[in-house]
Structure 1
Amino acid sequence: MAELWKSLPSWVRNIVVPVLVLVLAWNLVWFVVGVVSSLLGLLIKGLVVVGLAAAVVVLVKKAAKS
């Protein structure tokens, strides 16, 4: 691997490789942000569904008593 690295021209080692690393890191960061935000969205939707279900249960129990 070191031989391959040394065989690359200096402009590739100093410009192209760091740009590729930055692009890959940027894509990885946005992938992680996307995964976290989608999980938070699912969590919020789940909490809304549980809250609505609890409200329906309370309303049905009140209606059954009266």
Structure 2
Amino acid sequence: MAELWKSLPSWVRNIVVPILVLILAWNLLWFVVGVVGALLGFLLKVLLVVGIGAGVVILVKKAAKS
């Protein structure tokens, strides 16, 4: 690997490789942000459904008592 790195022209090592690394890091960052956002959105929907279900159960029990 070191031989391959040393065989590259200096402009490739100093300009092209860092730009590619930045692009890959940027895409990886937004992938992680997207996954976390999707998980949070899913969690919010689950909590909303559970809350609505609990409210319905409470209302049905109150209606059954009266």
1:2, 1:45 → 2: CA distance? 50
User: Which segments of structure 1 move beyond 3 Å, counting only runs of 4 or more?
Assistant: none
1:37 aligned residue = 37
State the shift of 1:58 in Å: 0.5
CA distance in 2, matches of 1:62, 1:2: 74
**Aligned equivalents of 1:2, 1:54: Cα separation in 2:** 62
Residue matched to 2:19 = 19
Unaligned runs of 5+ in 2: none
Q: Counterpart in 1 of 2:55? A: 55
CA distance in 1, matches of 2:58, 2:6: 72
In 1, distance between residues paired with 2:4 and 2:61?
A: 74
TM-score (norm: length of structure 1):
0.97
**Over aligned residue pairs, what C-alpha RMSD do you find?**
0.5
Q: Which amino acid aligns with 1:3?
A: E
Shift of 1:54: 0.3
Matched residue count: 66
